[in-house]
Amino acid sequence: MAATFRRRLRRGAASTAVAALVLAALTASQSPAGAKNTAAKGQEPTPADTPIDGGAAYYTDLPPLNSPVPPRGSNHPRPDGDGIVTGPAQAGIPATVLAAYKKAESEIRAADPGCRLPWQLLAGIGKVESGQARGGAVDAEGTTLQPILGPQLNGRGFARITDTDGGRYDGDRTHDRAVGPMQFIPSTWSQGGPAGTGWGADGNGDGKKDPNNVFDAALAAGTYLCAGGRNLSVQQDLDSAVLGYNHSEEYLRTVLSWFAFYRTGSYEVPDGKGVLPAHRDGANGTGDHPSGRPEGRTGHGHGTGGPAGNHPRPGKTKPNGPAKPGGSGDGHTGSHTPGGDHTPGTPETPGTPQTPSGKPTPTPKPPTKPTTPTALQRVGDQDLTATAGTDFTTKAQVRAADAAGKPVAGVPVRFTLPDTTDARFPAGATTATVTTGKDGLATAPTLHAGDKTGDFTLRVTAVGRPAPAVDIKATVKAKPAPKVDLLTRTSDKELTATAGHAFAEDAVEIKATYQGEIAAGVPITATMITDDPDHPVQNDKGPYFKDPQATGDNKDKPVRTLTGLTTDADGLLKLPKIYTDSHPGTFLLRLATPNGTTLTLKLKIAAPPKTA
C-alpha cells in the first residue's frame, strides 16, 4: 500500500476546473447544500461553499489490498460493521474514537432518522482527516492530547481564509487552520449552521462545543453531512455530503474506500494504539503544531512511503479527469487499484509493509476482539456524602466485568450528574468519562458539592457497551451553622412608623458575634410575634414583610416569618423593608439563630392622624 499526503487545492494547477475549485473555496458561504454531486457524471464538482475544513491537506492512505473494498458507498451491500473479530490492523479503531462515532450515529438517528447516517462514514472521514485522532491520542473525555492543526490557510497552495476566531481554536491570529479530529475550520465551527451559531456541537454533554473533542467533532460532522434533508443511503446524497466536506473527487474516492472497508468489519483497539497513516517524504503540507508535529507531516503507520517519482507532485501533473467514486482515473497518470496506489511494475506484496526508508517491517499481528463487558459493578457499598461547598471525600468507582466476572480493561465509563443537583466535577463539568484500567476499575474525578442540599443519584454507564447502568446515591448535607452567642442592633434609634405606612429603609440592622468575634454566615429567622411572654407565636396583625420572590396577587401578601436571612462577612444583616397595616400599637420582632440565640425588638406604630 502506498501512502501519500496530498493538498486538496493544488498550487499552480493547469486545469481550469481546479482553478474553479480554488475560486469557489475563496468566495463561498457555509451551506453544505451547495455541494452538488457531479462526480458520478464525470464532471469536476463546482461547489458554491467553502469546504468544511477549508481545503487543507489530508491523508490519502488507502485500505489494505487484502480487504474486500468495493468503494461504491452506500449502494454496496452492508454486512454487520462489527463482524470482524480479527483482521488487518487498519480495521482497528481506537475505543474512545469508535464510541464517539457510534454515539453520533445514535443521536442523529434519533433526531434525523431520514438521514441514515452510518458511523462507518464518520470513521472514513476521521481516518482521512486525522488518522482517527492520531491513532486515538485522546484523554478520557475524548479530547485530543495535543491540538491537531492543519496547515495555515494563507492561499499558498490552499484556500485563503483570514483569521475568523482570533486564534481561539487554532492559535493563529492571521489565518485559519483546520482543527481537531474532524478538521473543522473555525468559521465553520462557530458560524452558519441551522441556528446561525455554527456547526459545532456538544457530543459528550459537558456543556462545551470543542472541535478538539472527538465526541463533539463527530456529532458536528454528522449533523453537517445530514444537512439539507440528505438521505445518505442514496448515492447522490452520499457523494454530495462528502464533497461538501471537501471539494475533491480524490478525497471523495478516498473517504468512500475507507467507508466501504469499515462496513466489511472493524474492531476496537485501545486508545493510542490505532494505526497511523504513513507520510511521503517531500509532502508539501505546511501545517504547524505547537509540539512541532504538524498534522500531515508526521506519519507512523505501516505502509510504503514510496519515492517521489511514483506519485505526481501537486501542481505538476495535469489530471486525467474524474472517474466514479472508487474507480480508476483518480487524477494520476497510471492506474489505481482499490486498496493500493502504486505504479505499475512495482507491485507491493500484501503482508509485507515497509517503512518510508524502504526497510521491511514485521507484519503487524491483528489484534483480537476486545472482551465485551456485560456488567458494571459498584465498588464499595457506602453512599457518597459531603457537606455543602466541600469535596466528597469518597470517589465513585465501578468495575467493568465480562460474563465470567473477569475485569475488562479499556472500557469508557461515563459518570453523569442529574439536573437536580449543583454538585460538579472539575471545571464545572456535569459528566466525566474514564477508561477502565487493567483491573477493570474506573474511578470518577473528585466531585464537589454545591450549595444545594439533599440526595441525588449519580448514573454510571459504559459508553457504547450493553452493560446495564449503575446508580450511586449521593447526599449533600447542610453546613453546620456558625456559632453565635450574641445578637445586637447597630443603632439605638427608636423604631417607629404610622399605621398604613412603612418603616424607614434599612431601619433594622443587627450584628452577630461569638465570644466577641464576628460571626459571619449565621442563618437568622425574623418573626413578628405576639406579646405573650410565656407562649409567643406568630402575629396575625401589625407589621409585616413582603416576599421578594412573589409575583402577581401574592407580591403584596403580608409575610410575618422570614427565613433565608444570613449575616455577611462582617457579621451584619440588614432586614428587608417592614410594612404596616391599619393596626396601631407596640409589636414585637424576634430574631433567632439555629442555636437558640435571640434578639427581640419593639416596633411602635402610631395611629394615623384624624381628618376633619
Task: List, as one string, the DSSP characters of 209-245.
Answer: --TTBHHHHHHHHHHHHHGGG--TTSHHHHHHHHHHH
| CA–CA gap between residue 298 and residue 496 (Å, rounded) | 82
Looking at residue 506, its amino acid is: D
According to DSSP, the residues that pair with 94 across neighbouring strands are 269
Can you say how many angstroms the Cα of residue 435 is from the centroid of all Cα atoms in its chain? 17
pLDDT along the chain (612 residues), means of 10: 37 33 31 35 37 65 62 38 57 94 92 90 94 93 91 82 87 90 91 80 91 95 89 90 87 93 90 78 37 36 32 32 33 32 34 42 48 87 90 94 90 91 89 87 93 95 88 92 93 95 94 95 95 92 91 89 94 96 96 94 94 71
84: amino acid identity, one letter: I
Q: Beta partners for 429?
A: 425
C-alpha cell at 203: 457530543
Q: Is 332 exposed, middle or buried (0-12, 13-18, 19+ CB in 10 A)?
A: middle
Contact indicator for 211, 182 with CB cutoff of 8 Å: yes
Residue from 249, 311, 258, 253 nearest 280 by CA:
311
Reduced to 3 states, what is the DSSP secondary structure of residue 528? strand
From residue 180, how far is each of 122, 184, 185 by CA, in Å?
14, 7, 9
What CA–CA distance (Å, rounded) separates 474 from 116? 40
All three cell numbers of 190, joined, read: 462557530
3-state secondary structure of 115: helix
Q: Which three cell numbers stand for residue 591?
A: 430574631
Q: How far is Cα of residue 324 from the mean position of the Cα atoms in its chain?
A: 36
Q: What is the 3-state secondary structure (H, E, C) of 506-569?
A: CCCEEEEEECCEECCCCEEEEEEECCCCCCCCECCCCCEEECCCCCHHHCCCEECEEEEEECCC
- What does the alpha-carbon distance between residue 16 and residue 278 come to, in Å, rounded to a whole number? 31
Of the candidates 88, 137, 134, 92, the residue with the CA atom closest to the CA atom of residue 364: 88
Angstrom distance (rounded) from CA 189 to CA 162: 15
How long a stretch of residues is the chain? 612
Which three cell numbers mark 7? Answer: 493538498
Find the helix or strand (DSSP H, E) in which 257 lies.
helix 249-263
Q: How much of the chain is in helix, strand and coil states, percent to nearest 5?
A: 20, 25, 60
Helix (H) or strand (E) holding 563: strand 561-566
Say which DSSP state 260 is in.
H
Contact 181, 129 (CB under 8 A): yes
**Residue 587: per-residue pLDDT:** 97
CA distance 350 to 343: 15
Cβ burial of 491 (10 Å; 0-12, 13-18, 19+) is exposed
Q: Given this model, what pLDDT does residue 152 score?
A: 87
**Strand residues in 8-101 grouped as ranges (E):** 57-59, 92-94
User: How open is the CA angle 293-49-11, to the nearest 5 degrees?
Assistant: 50
CB 290 within 8 A of CB 167: no
SS3 401: strand
Helix (H) or strand (E) holding 95: helix 95-111
| CA gap 235, 222 in Å, rounded | 17
Strands 470-477, 598-606: pairing is: unpaired
Return the closest-CA partner of residue 409 out of 433, 437, 377: 437
Q: Is the dihedral of CA 338, 340, 342, 348 positive or negative?
A: negative
Tell the residue number behind the cell numbers 453546620, with chain if given: 480
Query: What was the pLDDT predicted at 156?
Result: 82
Q: Rounded to whole angstroms, what are the CA distances from 105 to 57, 72, 285, 468?
A: 26, 20, 31, 20
Supply the pLDDT for residue 127. 94
266: burial class by Cβ within 10 Å (0-12, 13-18, 19+)?
A: buried
DSSP string, 286-340: -B--TTS--TTT---SSSB---GGGSPPTTTS------STTSS-SSSSS--BTTB
